[in-house]
Amino acid sequence: MSDTSLLQVQDLSVSIDNELPILHNISLDIKPGETHVLMGPNGAGKSTLGFTLMGNPHYCVTGGKIFFDGEDITDTSADKRAKAGMFLSFQNPYEVPGITLSSFIRNAYHAQTGAPVKLLAFQKSLKAAMQILSMDESYADRDLNVGFSGGEKKKAEILQLLMLNPKLAILDETDSGLDVDAVRTVSKGIEEYQKKKDGALLVITHSTKILESLHVDYTHVLVKGGIVHTGDGALVDEINANGFERFI
């Protein structure tokens, strides 16, 4: 494998709970700071790839390997992948009663760095990140995702992205279900991560709105569990205009 790869996926095949095969022979190579877009029609297996890369135990790797930062992480648990610098923004983030958004992020930050969290500095940077996302400060003290609207949940995901500052962020349908304004706000957060922090991105989407303000290096088209085409950023516009028809 290349020394400069951040994420390298080699011939990955995946089934759910060892029964239903979903993905076949997927290969990807993402270098630090690059932005890759994964597009494809509904049911192609896009979210499955996101979950598999992050280490959801229900998704079983039946073939191939995943390397991150030069390490084979194919059998590594999700928490260790996060500590290595991976992040997944969930399409449907879970509601966890009894733990506030702010204390959740603080716990995650502590778990990843192992260092004690300096409370004042933490609160300051949380506040700044919430401002970028136009989030009301009161959300910091609300229970994680409980009673959040769809848009607020997605903003809370991007807030975690900005606070945890991973090397690679996988965004699973972060724009789905959002109105135009919310997409713009969320994009601002992603842009901040991409440009200021030089973070690598794998953006899973079947629309293109979220990509308007991002520089895209590669576009992959996933159909029926396999990558059928890879192109540059211009492919996004083509798909936007003509849909997936020619890949199916």
Residues that bind other proteins (CB under 8 A): 54-58, 77-79, 81-83, 87-88, 90, 93-94, 96-99, 104, 107-108, 111-112, 143, 160, 164
Of the pair 96, 248, the CB lying nearest other proteins is at 96
The helix (H) or strand (E) run that includes residue 238 is: helix 234-242
φ/ψ (deg, to 5) at 135: -95, 135
Cα 193 vs. chain centroid, distance in angstroms? Answer: 12
Distance in Å, CB of 47 to other proteins, minimum:
12
User: Quick check: 126 and 160 in contact, CB under 8 A?
Assistant: no
Which of 10/56 has CB closer to other proteins?
56
Nearer to other proteins, 24 or 199 (CB): 199
* Residue 170 or 216 having the CB closest to other proteins: 170
Output the CA–CA distances (angstroms, integers) from residue 86 to 31, 83, 89, 96, 112, in the order listed.
13, 7, 10, 21, 11
Q: What element of type H or E holds 129?
A: helix 119-132
In the complex, the smallest distance separating the C-beta of residue 164 from other proteins, rounded to whole angstroms, is 7
Classify residue 57 by burial, with Cβ atoms within 10 Å: 0-12, 13-18, 19+.
exposed
Nearer to other proteins, 99 or 234 (CB): 99
Q: Which helix (H) or strand (E) holds 7?
A: strand 7-16
185: Cα separation from own chain's centroid: 16
Cβ atoms within 10 Å of 90's Cβ, excluding its own: 21
Nearer to other proteins, 100 or 176 (CB): 100
**Residue closer to other proteins, measured from CB, 156 or 182:** 156
- Phi–psi pair at 112, nearest 5 degrees: -80, -40
Task: Using alpha carbons, list the distances in angstroms from residue 226 to 26, 53, 89, 99.
Answer: 6, 15, 22, 39
